[in-house]
Amino acid sequence: MAQLISSSSSLTIFSRNKPYLKPFNQCSMSFSTSAACNSSTYPFRKLFLQRQKPRKSLVLQVSAVSTSIETPVQTSSGEPSKPQRVMVIGGDGYCGWATALHLSKKGYEVAIVDNLIRRLFDHQLGLDSLTPISSIQNRIHCWKSLTGKSIELYIGDICDFEFLTETFKSFEPDAVVHFGEQRSAPYSMIDRPRAVFTQQNNVIGTLNVLFAIKEFREHCHLVKLGTMGEYGTPNIDIEEGYITITHNGRTDTLPYPKQASSFYHLSKVHDSHNIAFTCKAWGIRATDLNQGVVYGVRTDATAMHEELCNRFDYDGIFGTALNRFCVQAAVGHPLTVYGKGGQTRGYLDIRDTVQCVELAIANPANPGEFRVFNQFTEQFSVNQLAALVTKAGGKLGLNVETITVPNPRVEAEEHYYNAKHTKLVELGLKPHLLSDSLLDSLLNFAIQYKDRVDRKQIMPSVSWRKIGVKPKTVTA
């Protein structure tokens, strides 16, 4: 364990007037989300009305001197590079938290930017992570205590360009990893306000990041988390971002056609178009990581202490297929296969998510280049995942059953699917494939926390076809 020699802390509040500094005692400091959580008692639309009002954004900057020896980050050529300053937007979320710790452990200087709204969603919808998760401040304090490494924290909304401006000027990132979006397709299909919020938050937030890079850090590399869902399920092979087409005797390489299947996926398509345009117009360097479905919960860094534990969603809104199936098996609930179960997607372990992001940072795009990497390691249908969990559960003495439920989504339930994913492997990705031992680990993890499972949240409650104009009230 690294020894912490010294530390200093300051709280910066950016308002519409001018920033000012206010010292505080870190040991007694606590930023409670209870005030924000209480807003769940009001109509959901208030969340959008707040965007029209001046907002205050909190910036927590924690610095420390470490005696640990940092391992230089390696590029594809094997040459060590100096520690880069990486801003992780959405660093309090499922993928963002794991990535922030991984990069810090690897020797990068890391800052987390987050408005903590993902925690608010849980309170509004009556949901909770299977794992108990600490506040972001306690997480960062624990990380510094264990490793001696400092992670700066900027609490605010990237849709507020004044906040983002001050954050860029303060931290001066060499790379921005952008997870900071509403990431759930079902959430975007609950009702009109949440559909509007998803597109406004995701598209405007990304636009602000692009403008901030142009104005304040023109050499900064944007690593944007996209989604394989942008492609849909075409009856041809899915290429990595671009496809070469010959039409009427002429040939061109064009962006691969997009067939988004929710308002969330559409927001990602808009992001990709905006990023591609700014790379061409402004010379921005960007890598779009079209990520498949992520499973798992532990990385080497998050497993170091219970305070660093990542969130694990199992509900019908934020939970992903394999994670949901493991929790359902652990509590004796039948596995819920939507429709025919032939829906096939790309999947990857969260340990590979953080590895892919690091590879993209260490091997940046050129100025003006818009790269697209398909970020997944294996393909499975829903039926195949259910069969794997059933087999693994049986070895643990679990009686796992499967039921078919009406598909709440509008999607092909039987289709061709073959997506290319070679570029990250060429950069050095060493995948963690879905093995029996990994499934055993996931199931045992779910069994460990099964007393925290709310069975009412297991079945799907959001219908693509029944989305309405009025805000939907969610009751426990």
Active-site positions read 227, 264, 268
Q: CA 231, CA 421: separation in Å to the nearest integer?
A: 13
Provide the Cα torsion 230, 372, 236, 380; round to 10°: -70
Going through 335-409 in order, the beta strands assigned E by DSSP cover 335-338, 344-349, 370-375, 378-381, 402-405
Give φ, ψ of 411 to 5 degrees: -160, 160
Largest CA distance in the chain: 71
Query: Quick one: tokens of 388?
Result: 């794997």
Going through 330-439 in order, the beta strands assigned E by DSSP cover 335-338, 344-349, 370-375, 378-381, 402-405
Q: CA 359, CA 115: separation in Å to the nearest integer?
A: 27
- Measuring CA to CA, which residue among 240, 158, 242, 213 is closest to residue 367? 213
Q: How many angstroms separate the first and last alpha carbons of the chain?
A: 43
- Measuring CA to CA, which residue among 341, 333, 351 is closest to residue 94? 351
28 CB contacts (<8 Å, ≥6 apart)? none
Q: CA 87, CA 120: separation in Å to the nearest integer?
A: 22
91 CB contacts (<8 Å, ≥6 apart)? 97, 99, 100, 110, 112, 113, 114, 136, 179
**Are the beta carbons of 208 and 128 closer than 8 angstroms?**
no
Q: CA 265, CA 340: separation in Å to the nearest integer?
A: 22
